[in-house]
């Protein structure tokens, strides 16, 4: 068997760093961010943000190529946001990411949008349900802080 170690499927330390940078970017853009936002379909968005007009943005953080390679659930998020981004560090091989989705490069101190997101429009009923879900999750976190 030898001493070969498999590449990590995800790097929690790197995910935390990228999450911090993306949340800072969302605030700069006027969004109220929430990490690990639970969607009605059972998925958990790494970072979601709501702007003043009620538009919802989701960023899916990929800590390394292996994380992206094994995790193909990202299309499940598209029905729950107006804008969708992959967020990666500057050394990530961005050529493997779907070219039609938004791209954010992040580190612990901030992030930049390198490729804009496709603009989607949520149905009014879905937007209302998501906004209520977002508010309840944020309030529950504050009540346990």
**Residues 60-115 pLDDT 10s:** 999 999 999 998 899 999 999 999 999 999 999 999 999 999 999 999 999 999 99
How much helix, strand and coil, in percent to the nearest 5, is found in the chain? 35, 25, 35
Residue 7 in this model has a pLDDT that exceeds 90: no
**pTM of the entire predicted model:** 0.90
Show contacts of 4-10: CB within 8 Å, 24+ apart: 7/64, 7/66, 8/64, 8/66, 9/66, 9/67, 9/70, 10/63, 10/64, 10/66, 10/67
Q: According to DSSP H, which parts of 5-123 are helical? A: 12-28, 65-70
């Amino acid at each position: 068997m030898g001493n070969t170690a498999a590449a990590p499927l995800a790097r929690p330390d790197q995910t935390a760093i990228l999450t911090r940078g993306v949340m800072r970017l969302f605030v700069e853009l006027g969004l109220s961010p929430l990490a690990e936002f639970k969607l009605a379909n059972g998925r958990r968005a790494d970072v979601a943000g709501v702007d003043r007009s009620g538009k919802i943005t989701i960023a899916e953080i990929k800590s390394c190529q292996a994380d992206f390679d094994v995790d193909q659930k990202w299309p499940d998020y598209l029905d729950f946001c107006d804008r969708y981004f992959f967020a990666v560090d500057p050394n990530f091989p961005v050529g493997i990411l779907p070219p039609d989705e938004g791209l954010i490069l992040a580190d612990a101190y901030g992030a930049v949008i390198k490729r804009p997101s496709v603009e989607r429009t949520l149905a009014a009923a879905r937007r209302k349900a998501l906004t209520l879900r977002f508010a309840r999750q944020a309030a529950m976190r504050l009540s346990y802080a």
